[in-house]
Amino acid sequence: MKKIIIFWVVLGVMAINLTSCEPKMDYLNPDANVTQSYYNTQEHLIYAVNGIYGIFQGLNLWGRDMPYILNARSDEGVFTFKASAGDPTVVQLAGYTNGAEHAAVSSAFGNLYTIQYTANLALERLTENQGNAFDLNNPQDKALYDRLMGEAYFLRGFCRFYLTFFFGDEIPDRDYTVTSSDFYALPAEKGVIYQRMTEDFKKAEELLPVRSVVYADPSNIGRATKGAAQAFLAKCYMGRPVLDGAAGAGSAEWSQAKEALRKIIESNEYALVNNYRDNGSEDNENNTESLFEIQFTRSSDALYTVPMDIVGGGQNSWRQICMTVPDPICWWNLMPSLSLYNEFERDASGNIIDARAFQGLWIPNGAKFQKGGSLIDYNLLIATDGDERISWRGKYLGTRKNGVDYDGFDLSRGGANDRIIRYSDVLLMYAECCIETGDESTALQYINKVRERANKQMANPTEADAHMFYAQEAGSLPTGEALIAAAPVLGRIKDGSGNTIVPGLQINTARRLLKHEYSVELFMEGWRFFNLIRWHNNPNDPDKAQVLNALVDKHKVQVEQTGLAGAIPFNYDKHLRLPIPTGELQTNPNINASFAN
């Protein structure tokens, strides 16, 4: 599915009434497709569903803006001097100073609703099944029909998930296509969207085939599957305090989440890949570890590099050029924070022993980048001799995930898929459910499965990794039990005078081990902020106040790491949600203006 053009098919009818002009002309093209006559073949109905996927690739969603919105607001990312000089939208997101006029947030808001509209359109047209395009008594037709319905339900639930996560649940929500009489929808009542999104994922789980069935046809690789629906259902259950405005703290549904995750694990459809690097590069995409990815391709022949639905536009991602390799190779508006960097385990000499740090980040003593045909290490990647940035070595960092290890082509044509949910996340979520249901021994088994993969020797390393320890032999990360026994403090940050800026967390319980493992496994993949807020709303978590401080103290890390001011302390009541965009407040009289910050 990734390598073919995805058609965005959203047809409308425009009626033009001219009552005072002669001659009276019929301005409607009798040969043009209209909604009533278009969706009457299997091909057209497949296009209706394909069109939903195409929206995700856009510049205003995962093509650029969503990676910023998801990662900049967590404690894993800080804005750079490049953003300070040229992209204030990133500065505002990372520093909690964005308002209702924020361009990226406004665009994401509108485009997520476009997904909802397009999913509703597909569901309506499939349900109508004009001209009996599908013979539902034919097993082959019925299987395809159910799969398409399941995909549309999944993608509608997907957009509801992110809309609610970002903006709360008192926002407009529809399960039908909008008409001219319903442009200004009322906000939903608290709790309604949560119930609707979980129903979407349940219906998708029921209708969608498993991964091996869908992927048996190579042209369908990348489509939603049963496992993706089950994983998002588990995310909903675990994140209910964040997603359901009628529920509140302590409302997570651990047993239901555990059951959804158990089904994924016992399906035997997924497995951890050998190379952690494969989860953040163009190599081995849609692999056995992946439950759902936003599909991108480098689009080297496209007329424009901008990932937009325009003639000549590409299906590439700008995430690579925006937030991976440091300036001047890439734009580098957001970089990994010292909080993340200091989270990785080290030996007695202070050397990082977790291979994931080097396979996912550009950091000291790590992988090498090929620039102009020559391999350069971190020191030259950050600055050259005489460059004033030399003094920032060790603090200026890069994200290796979703980027390449070499230049030589237009880096704005990023081809790496955005991995939304991976099997390692499923294993860690299952471990968390085990902890919450009183089974720490099983939780440790699943945490150790993820840690064991981190110790595997890299298979077929490229030049970027060939000199690294993990390319030569297995790693030396201890088991989870051994780490708890050692009880190190991880994530601590001190300034040049030795004063503690961020205290870090002592890894001396299974719950704290799990928090650590989430961080070093899933960093910069868009889940950190969601997890921190979940934990803060869990009365069973003794660290619920401390996890919020990771966000509250982030402005101190910003100054220590970059010397740049402007960020402010995170305020839960004010910054938990993104503000409803000004444009929506101005055009929809039914939206309460109090949503604006």
Determine the average pLDDT of the residues in 4-18.
Answer: 35
More confident site: 568 or 33 = 568
Instruction: Please state, in angstroms and as integers, the Cα–Cα distance from residue 266 to each residue in 235, 442, 489, following that order.
Output: 18, 15, 35
**Which band of pLDDT confidence, cut at 50, 70 and 90, is reported for residue 522?**
very high
pLDDT at 2 over 60: no
Determine the average pLDDT of the residues in 301-326.
Answer: 85
**Which band of pLDDT confidence, cut at 50, 70 and 90, is reported for residue 369?**
very high
**Per DSSP, what are the bridge partners of residue 494?**
500
Determine the average pLDDT of the residues in 81-85.
Answer: 95
pLDDT at 24 over 60: no
Residue 493: its H or E element: strand 493-494
Supply the pLDDT for residue 18: 28
pLDDT at 465 over 50: yes
How far, in Å, CA of 157 to CA of 250, rounded? 23
Dihedral angle computed from the Cα positions of residues 71, 75, 76 and 82, in that order, rounded to the nearest 10 degrees: 70
Which residue, 471, 417, 394, 556, is CA-closest to 2? 417
Supply the pLDDT for residue 10: 41
Determine the Cα angle at 357 with ends 338 and 477, to 5°: 115
pLDDT at 368 over 80: yes
Residue 106: its H or E element: helix 103-128
Determine the average pLDDT of the residues in 263-273.
Answer: 98
pTM: 0.93
Determine the Cα angle at 363 with ends 361 and 368, to 5°: 85
Alpha helices in 219-295 (DSSP H): 226-238, 240-243, 254-266
pLDDT at 11 over 80: no
Query: Exposed (0-12), middle (13-18) or buried (19+): which is 574, by Cβ within 10 Å?
Result: exposed
pLDDT at 9 over 60: no
How far, in Å, CA of 145 to CA of 142, rounded? 5
Supply the pLDDT for residue 22: 36
Determine the average pLDDT of the residues in 384-411.
Answer: 92
Residue 59 near residue 317, CB atoms below 8 Å: no
Supply the pLDDT for residue 390: 92
Task: State the chain's mean pLDDT as an integer.
Answer: 91
How far, in Å, CA of 92 to CA of 111, rounded? 20
Determine the average pLDDT of the residues in 265-281.
Answer: 98
pLDDT at 220 over 80: yes
**Which band of pLDDT confidence, cut at 50, 70 and 90, is reported for residue 20?**
very low
Supply the pLDDT for residue 351: 97
Supply the pLDDT for residue 29: 52
Supply the pLDDT for residue 185: 82
E strands of 42-152, at which residues? 77-79
3-state secondary structure of 376: strand
**Which band of pLDDT confidence, cut at 50, 70 and 90, is reported for residue 33?**
low
